[in-house]
């Protein structure tokens, strides 16, 4: 009876933490799309909302980590249960970083809104952000459902995001060579595109955590990337 009570309490703890993960994921999904929409429509008010909303995402990460640490200390989980708790902490860290990138996009939107548009690049980045948002939704679904096949599909789709980024990068270089006045806005747009590409990397890391959680196989460190611009200095 005691063992059953402990197991039941552990399950309740895990359910509570996973509910917070899904809440955090929902906020991050919204931040991705709101940041992209603010950029495309030059909506400074929406961009400001994205920046303010990042505090809630940060707060959830802190709460999840505190709860996970408490579960480890009190319940002393082992094997699969320990993998689950550790995966939760890593997933929350990836979600927090995605939220940070959304906030960075919102910050640059305020600057870009003061100048002229550069082609249709903002619309292209919205499409790229939409792909990342859909990947995140599937990654979180794969986590809840323990669906390795769906998680691996998310990992494979990161190459599409990389290729979108490569195309935008080449486009920005062309615009800057054609007219020096495009250099400043194109640099801002390039860093925004890179932020979206990095979001895709963190979503992929979430999917890899699902694979690790279900199979016990650790993700490979040298995941193949389709970003062909890695030799160019990037924003940290």
34 Cβ contact list (under 8 Å, min separation 6): 46, 49, 50, 53, 102
Question: Rounded CA gap, 213 and 231, in Å?
Answer: 33
Residue 91 is predicted with a pLDDT of: 96
CB 180 within 8 A of CB 113: no
Inform me whether the pLDDT recorded for 117 exceeds 90.
no
Six-digit token string for 189:
């747009």
Dihedral sign for Cα 57, 58, 62, 63, please. negative
Specify the pTM. 0.88
pLDDT tens digits along 41-90: 999 999 999 999 999 999 999 999 999 999 889 877 777 788 888 899 99
DSSP 3-state of 16: helix
């Amino acid at each position: 009876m005691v063992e059953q009570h402990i197991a039941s309490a552990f399950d309740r703890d895990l359910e509570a933490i996973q509910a917070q993960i899904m809440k955090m994921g929902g906020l991050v999904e919204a931040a991705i799309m709101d940041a992209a929409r603010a950029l495309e429509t030059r909506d400074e008010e929406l961009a400001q909302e994205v920046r303010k909303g990042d505090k809630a995402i940060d707060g959830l990460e802190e709460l999840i980590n505190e709860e996970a640490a408490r579960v480890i200390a009190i319940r002393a989980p082992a094997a699969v249960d320990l993998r689950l708790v550790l995966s939760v902490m890593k997933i929350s860290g990836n979600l927090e970083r995605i939220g940070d990138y959304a906030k960075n996009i919102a910050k640059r939107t305020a600057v870009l809104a003061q100048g002229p548009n550069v082609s249709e690049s903002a619309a292209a980045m919205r499409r790229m952000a939409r792909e990342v948002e859909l990947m995140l939704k599937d990654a979180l679904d794969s986590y809840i459902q323990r669906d390795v096949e769906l998680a691996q599909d998310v990992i494979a789709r990161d190459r599409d995001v990389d290729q979108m980024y490569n195309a935008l990068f080449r486009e920005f270089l062309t615009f800057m060579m054609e007219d020096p006045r495009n250099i400043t806005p194109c640099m801002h747009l390039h860093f925004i595109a890179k932020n979206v590409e990095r979001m895709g990397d963190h979503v992929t890391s979430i999917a890899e955590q699902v694979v690790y959680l279900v199979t016990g196989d650790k993700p490979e460190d040298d995941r193949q990337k389709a970003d062909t611009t890695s030799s160019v200095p990037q924003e940290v």
